[in-house]
Structure 1
Amino acid sequence: MFGLTSVCVFLFLALALAVNSGYSLGALLLLLASSWLLWKRPRLHLQRRDYLLMGVMLAYFLIFTANMLYHGDPGREFDIPLRALLAVPVLLLLLAYPPRPEAWWSGVPIGAVAGAALAFWQLIILNVERPQAATSNAIHYGNVSMLLGMLSLSGLVWAREQRHRAAWSALLLVGGLAGILGSVVSGSRSGWLALPVCAGIIALHYAKKDGKRYIASAAIAIVALGAVTYSMPDSQIRKRMHAAVEETQNFEHGADLKWSSVGQRLEMWRTALLISRDHLVVGIGRTGYLEAKRVLVAEGKMSNVISDYTNAHNDYLDTLVKRGITGAMALLALFLVPLALFARALRRGSAAAQPYALAGVVLCTCYMIFGLTTNSLTLNIGIIMLVFPMVILWSMLRQQERTS
């Protein structure tokens, strides 16, 4: 069973961006394998922290599901909270049969490299303006690519302790660079926001162990990478940053939002706040949100350009307007409780567990930033690439604590 979980974890990561719904394959195999617990019934030795992590995912599922039923939302809306529920038996499986560290630390960079290779092929050969690899959306590809890049860099301390440390370090560095470049060519600005924050977290952690030169090295690397990608011909970063500034200025002057992605986002945020004021406790639901927008358009209080968007392009505001304060608290708990658990292990855990704790902190931080400018949890790739890496990392962290 240890070998099976290792293979599933590797496939989950390695195929995430290079195969259509590749992230679902490893996740499905892990879910099916969790049925083994019903027959084998291994001793799990669960701690309070394990119950807390499972509890927050169950609470997210129950609160969102109850809210959707209350508002009579379409059945497909239940897919998202269901993924959080399905991660719970996978966590129990992995606590009993944790995957080998090599499965995780090879799958992450290979997934980043495979996704970036496909994205560059789309960019150079197919002339796709905003590559999306094997995903359905350039924004989600760019975000997950950045996530895999940052997770790769989180493993460099682990690589130093391995027998073939030069090879492992090279693989993880290549994975980190591939993840960042994949995000750059996707044109997904939400991923770019996460880069300096997560790179800073990683550098600060390494600086505690090996001196402050890591902070300076990370800052220089980010600046150099930004300068190179900004100065390249037809640079996506230059185009997207200039467009963001121009579209923000146009929005302030009341310009037409038809060709302005930034202006449309600002209008969606304004509208979500406006609607949510009268439905603070449980929100208005998906159907109610769309109906409220149609009313605002008819009253001339909202641009018709954004009337057909089903979300507010912001995880926090979208949850507030649809699920109310109760839903917003469940969402924040899904981010903050695991973040606190991983951060505590990063400060106080054993040296062997710290690479997984660091990766967990990076995972939660990335998603909290992604959600500022897009709905990162409204597609399967978004929720799956949050909760499944979360339980995988937690199981390996707990395994390292037990063995050390």
Structure 2
Amino acid sequence: MTTLIKKNRLSNYIYSSIFLVLILLLSTPNFSVVIVLILFIVSLSYLIENRQSITLIKADYLFIIACASYFLAFIPIAIIDGSTLRYFDAPSRFLLSIPIYLLIRNMLVNQKLNFNALNKAIEYGAITGSMGALVIALYQVIIEGRPRVDGFLYSINFGYLACSLAFLGLVFYKGSSHKLINLLGFSAAIIATMLTLTRGAIFAIPVLLIMTLFFLYREIITAKKVLLFAVSISFISMLSYQFIPTFKQRIDYTTFEFKQIIQGDTAKSRSSGGRILLWGSAVEAFKSSPLIGETYHNREIISQRIYDHSKYKNRVLLAPRAHAHSQYFEILACAGLLGIFALFLYLMAPLVYYYYLFSKNKNNIFALCGFIFTTGICIFGLTEVLLAGNLISLYYAFMQALLIATAMSYHALTTQKSSQ
């Protein structure tokens, strides 16, 4: 298969795949998944055809272990459960990223991929994908009259992905040759995120914005500029609260929920209070089986028991499979210490690695992109099990394969040049 693609340049096919994955992510019903699957087949074919010339380094093994860990961590509990393979739905997507990572890294090592072209594929893909997300969002709000945008997904997942696209593009703003278009793409994704009313994504926006601007412009930051930025954000927030009814309702409801939680009434605080109860249930499941976690059935029994003994009855606690609404608590309950170790490998370790690479070379934009991207996923995971979703898990694994390979290769190249 790769022999045929070579005639049309495999490198161009990779650039196009990256570009299309980001464009189609939110503007189509899972078409980006098809692009990744095809790239997986191409990558596997390439690795088989060139197996004699491919040498794995330590970083490759670490990437493979990290991706496989998410899958392996669920094997014990899946065997014990014996009634469903749902445990492997999302983790199996991580395995698809391994050949893609090896293809990109090998192509970079052999100088068959260009860093500038990869930069543009990610930036312009994120910008175009952001604009596509806004078109979908506006259509649903204006034409269909929906109170919350959800695209072809759930509103929560749409919000997380739109927010992720926003900052994937913005990271490249400083070095962009089309700054206005970059800014328009960022604005489009932020508006699309706001229209989903996804609180986990909306609250992450100022955090990610501050981090991105700090790392891009840290050398020219002054107290005056920080103050101006804070005033601007506050002003935009107040305007949104005053003139966007749905946003105002969401903020008011959030305030109401937290007041109820402080008073101890988790029933009136249906969403946030329900999450707190589910987190408590997840902790109890972990206590019951700390090494490998509890089965879905046993977790439902634990949640039912907590519900029966609760003073305030919040039926969110009775969610199917005791869904914890947090990546961290879900893994804690469902895979125990094995899952937590895997979580460190596939979520926390990349974050640390990106920061390390960027600290060594402030021009390594791929390392910064990976750091901001992974930070966003870490924040989103506080209130949702987003990596259990098939599209988001595939998107996350694909982006990690791309960004780790490029950030690492860029570091190796610049280190080699400086030592000569």
Unmatched tracts of structure 1, length 5 or more: 160-164
Partner of 2:318: 307
Q: Which moved more, 1:16-25 or 1:394-403?
A: 394-403
**Aligned with residue 378 of structure 1, among 388, 392, 399:** 388
- Amino acid across the alignment from 1:227: M
Aligned CA RMSD, in angstroms, stands at 2.4
Distance 1:360 1:303 in 2: 38
Question: Which TM-score applies when normalising by structure 2?
Answer: 0.86
Equivalent residues of 2:366, 2:407 under 8 A apart: yes
Pairwise CA distance, 1:325: 2.0
Partner of 1:26: 35
- What SS class does the counterpart of residue 245 from structure 2 fall into? coil
Superposed CA offset, 1:220-274 (max 9, x none): 55334323322223142x2212111212323444557377212221221222223
Partner of 1:200: 210
- Amino acid across the alignment from 1:120: L
Superposed CA offset, 1:276-313 (max 9, x none): 32222221122321233234445558644431333111
Q: 1:320 to 1:398 in 2, by over 3 A?
A: closer
- Amino acid across the alignment from 2:151: A
Pairwise CA distance, 1:122: 0.4
Distance 1:42 1:10 in 2: 30
Q: 1:217 to 1:272 in 2, by over 3 A?
A: same
Partner of 1:6: 15
- Amino acid across the alignment from 1:128: R
Partner of 2:175: 158
Partner of 1:316: 328
Q: 1:219 to 1:47 in 2, by over 3 A?
A: farther
Pairwise CA distance, 1:141: 0.5
Q: Which moved more, 1:306-315 or 1:119-128?
A: 306-315
**In the alignment, structure 1 residue 233 sits paired with structure 2 residue 244:** yes
**Aligned with residue 267 of structure 2, among 247, 257, 274:** 257
Pairwise CA distance, 1:64: 2.4
- What SS class does the counterpart of residue 202 from structure 1 fall into? helix
- Aligned pairs, number: 393
Equivalent residues of 2:327, 2:384 under 8 A apart: yes
**In the alignment, structure 1 residue 331 sits paired with structure 2 residue 351:** no
Question: Which TM-score applies when normalising by structure 1?
Answer: 0.89
Distance 1:157 1:44 in 2: 36
Superposed CA offset, 1:288-345 (max 9, x none): 2123323444555864443133311111111111111221221132111111111111
Q: Aligned runs of 1:128-147 on 2, under 5 Å?
A: 128-135=146-153, 137-147=154-164
- Moved runs in structure 1, 4+ residues, more than 6 A? none
**In the alignment, structure 1 residue 121 sits paired with structure 2 residue 139:** yes
- Amino acid across the alignment from 2:124: S
Q: 1:286 to 1:23 in 2, by over 3 A?
A: farther
Q: Which moved more, 1:207-216 or 1:125-134?
A: 207-216
Equivalent residues of 1:146, 1:183 under 8 A apart: yes
**In the alignment, structure 1 residue 222 sits paired with structure 2 residue 244:** no
Partner of 2:354: 342
Pairwise CA distance, 1:138: 0.4
Q: 1:83 to 1:244 in 2, by over 3 A?
A: same
Unmatched tracts of structure 2, length 5 or more: 1-9, 415-420
**In the alignment, structure 1 residue 393 sits paired with structure 2 residue 411:** no
Partner of 2:25: 16
- What SS class does the counterpart of residue 156 from structure 1 fall into? coil
Q: Aligned runs of 1:38-187 on 2, under 5 Å?
A: 38-41=48-51, 43-44=53-54, 46-72=56-82, 74-97=84-107, 100-101=117-118, 102-135=120-153, 137-159=154-176, 165=177, 167=178, 169-187=179-197
Distance 1:392 1:244 in 2: 37
Q: 1:73 to 1:173 in 2, by over 3 A?
A: farther
Equivalent residues of 2:122, 2:168 under 8 A apart: no
Equivalent residues of 1:53, 1:337 under 8 A apart: no
Q: 1:398 to 1:299 in 2, by over 3 A?
A: closer
- Amino acid across the alignment from 1:244: T
Equivalent residues of 1:206, 1:214 under 8 A apart: no
